[in-house]
Structure 1
Amino acid sequence: MLTPSDMYWLTRLDGIVGIGVFLGILGFAVCAGCLGIGLCEGIQRAVRAGFIAGTVAVLGALLAVFVPTTKEAVAIYVIPAIANNESVRAIPDTAARLADEWLKQKLGEITGEKTQKK
């Protein structure tokens, strides 16, 4: 069963993915900038800053990839609950039974009309 806390975090997932995308883009941009600075100035300081920026970029990208969006998380919660629900499983059987009864009734009406016309 979904709790209010689960519902809150389901609505926040898109924001978390957005932060991951932002960190990934920002980290790669800073990493590229550090490499450019390293070519012009001291390489040791630029490599250290580039490593930190690259780490942030990779973590942001991983966050963006592996955290599900709100729609995906709702599907993860809801689809198994529906698929495992016994009353939902009974719907096709009930629908088939009702359709069969309706067809038999209509067939009876049609054959009854044909025998009365003869």
Structure 2
Amino acid sequence: MAIFDMSDTDKAVFLQIQNSKKPDQIISVIMSDSDAHFETRGLKGFFDLDEIWIERNEFLVSMEEYAMLLSFLLETMSAAQDLNLPYSYMEDFEHKGQRYSLIGRDGHRVLKKKGQL
């Protein structure tokens, strides 16, 4: 069973993030050539949630930080699902002393850094 659809020829898998508690849950971070962003693949399939987009330059400058943040989000989504609790994105949140926004736009969520705490 495929985790993501690679029928789009202008997109390539850049990174995969695995849930440490459920190794079968893997999301991919896809690099889009046409839209200057990275986007997740797998959140819709696992949790019926919007995929997350990150501006390309912002992701490349802070790749490790964004990978850890996406891993955290994946694991919290999974934990909520295990407990039969609803999960919804917060538009503004903090993780490890950094503030972020996660705003809905055209069927996806745009993740951006805000000011330091």
TM-score, normalised on structure 2? 0.22
The higher radius of gyration belongs to 1
Q: Greater RCO between the two (CA within 8 Å, min separation 6)? A: 1
